[in-house]
Amino acid sequence: MSGWFREISGNERRTFWACFGGWALDALDVQMFSLVIPAIIAQWSISRTEAGLVSGATLVASALGGWIAGMLSDRLGRVKTLQWTVAFFAVFTFLCAFAQNYPQFLVLKTLQGFGFGGEWAAGAVLMAETIRAEHRGKAMGSVQSAWAVGWGAAVLLYALMFSILPAATAWRAMFALGILPALLIVYVRRGVQEPDAAALKYTGQGVRNADASADEPALDAVFGIFSPQVLRMTLIGALLGVGAHGGYYALMTWLPTYLKTERHLSVLGTGAYLAVVIVAFFVGCLACAQLLDRIGRRTTILAFAICCVVTVVIYLFMPLSNAAMLVLGFPLGFFAAGIPASMGALFNELYPRGIRGTGVGFCYNFGRVVSAGFPVLVGHMSANMTLGTAIGIDAALAYSIVVVSVLMLPETRGRTLGGLSAGSTDEAVTEAEGAHRFSQAHRH
C-alpha cells in the first residue's frame, strides 16, 4: 500500500483513515452478535431460527439505512451524513447491552443495523469521490480490509470477556463497548473535507449538480437510478449485492456457532480458527485492492467468486480433520474478502455524480434486504440437517449468483468521477453528457 499511498494528498489520506476507522468499528459491532449467539440462545432460551431472525432483521434495517443515507449524502453531503450514521449505530450498539428480553434485543439490534448500513453508504461514496481514479481500486479495497481489523478486535474482545466474566454478563459487556465508534465523529468533523463532486444543490424536485445551469432540471436522486439509461446497471448491481451479502452472512453469521457446537471447539479454540479466517480476509482485501486496478473490476470479482464456491464446498462438505479445517480457513477467508472489497469501487463507477450516493446505497443495500433471509434460512434448514450442510448450501448458492451477475456488468476501471482528478478525460465528458441525458429524460 505504501507506494500509491505516498502519492496521494493529505486530504485523501485523512479521508482514507476516517473511512478505515469507521468500517473497522462497524465490523467490531456487527461481528459481536455472531460470536455471542450461543450465549444469547442460552440467556433467553430462543431457537436458532429466532437467533437468525435477529441477524436478518439487522440486515434489512441496514439496507434501509444504507439507501436512505445514500440519498441524504446526495442532498446534505457525504461528511455530514457520515457523522450522523456513526453516532446512530454507536448509540444503539451500546443500548443492546441493556436489553432485558429477546423482543427488546431484536428492536435495538435492528436499529443498530439502520445506522451501520448508512455509515457504509456515505463512507463509500466519500472515499470514491475523494481518491484519484488511478488509485480508486487500491484505496477502496484497502479500506475494506478494515473489516478484518474490527472483526479481529471483536474476536479478541470475545475471548477476553468470556474468559473473565460469566457468559450472561460477558455478551453485555461487549455491546457496551460499542459506544467507541462515537469517538470517530470528532475526527471526521475536523479532518475530512467534502469532495467537490458532492457539492450538489438540492431543489424541491431533486438533486442538481453544483455547476448546472439555473434552468437545467434536477436529477431525481430517488428515481434517477431507475431511469432507462441506468436501469439495467441498477438491477444487475442489486443482484450482485444479493449474492455478495448472502454468501458472506450465511457463512460468517453461523461459522462461530458451527465451530463450537458441531466441531466442539472451546472459546479459545473457536477464536484460533476464526483468527486464521480473519487474517486471510485482511490479506485478501489487500490482494484484491491491487488486482482491481491491474486486471479490472469484473475479472477480479469473477475470480474471487468462483474460488469462494469451491472453497465453501470443500470446507463444509468434505470430511476434514480439525487441523485441515484450520489450514483451509485461510483460503476461505481470503476469497471471501474479494467480493466486498470490490463493490465500493464498482458501484460508484456505475452512476453519474448527482445520483451516485443513491445508486451505491441501493445496489449495496438491496443485497442486504434479500440476503437477510440467508441467515434465517440457515437456522431453519439446520433443524433438518447439520448446521454445516445448511451453511454450505446457502453460501455456495449465493456466490454462484455473484458469478452470473458480474458477467453482465461492464468494466469500469479508471473511470473518472466527475472531474475529481487533475485534468479532464473523455470518461468525465461522457459522465457529464450522461447526467444531461438524465435531466432531459426527467424533463419529459
pLDDT tops 50 at residue 441: no
The residue among 289 and 62 whose pLDDT is bigger is 289
Reported pTM: 0.73
- Over range 410-437, report the average pLDDT: 50
CA distance 72 to 44: 38
pLDDT tops 80 at residue 214: no
Given a contact cutoff of 8 angstroms between Cβ atoms, the answer to whether 390 and 311 are in contact is no
pLDDT tops 70 at residue 349: yes
Continuous H helices in 145-230: 146-164, 167-176, 182-191
Place of cell 457468559: 167
| pLDDT per residue as tens digits for the range 39-91 | 999 889 888 788 878 877 887 888 888 888 888 888 888 888 888 888 888 88
Place of cell 442489486: 238
Whole-number pLDDT of residue 240: 94
Task: Tell me the domains of the chain and their CATH numbers.
Answer: 7-443 (1.20.1250.20)
The residue among 286 and 427 whose pLDDT is bigger is 286
The b/e string for 11-48 (b: 16+ C-beta within 10 A; e otherwise) is ebbbbbebbbbbbbbbbbbbbbbbbbbbbbbebeebeb
Given a contact cutoff of 8 angstroms between Cβ atoms, the answer to whether 94 and 179 are in contact is yes
CA distance 174 to 158: 7
Whole-number pLDDT of residue 217: 39
What's the pLDDT band for 177 if we cut at 50, 70, 90? confident
The helix or strand, by DSSP H or E, that contains position 341, with its residue range, turns out to be helix 322-348
CA distance 227 to 223: 7
Residue 413, C-beta contacts closer than 8 angstroms, at least 6 positions apart: 137, 292, 293, 296, 297
The helix or strand, by DSSP H or E, that contains position 81, with its residue range, turns out to be helix 78-96
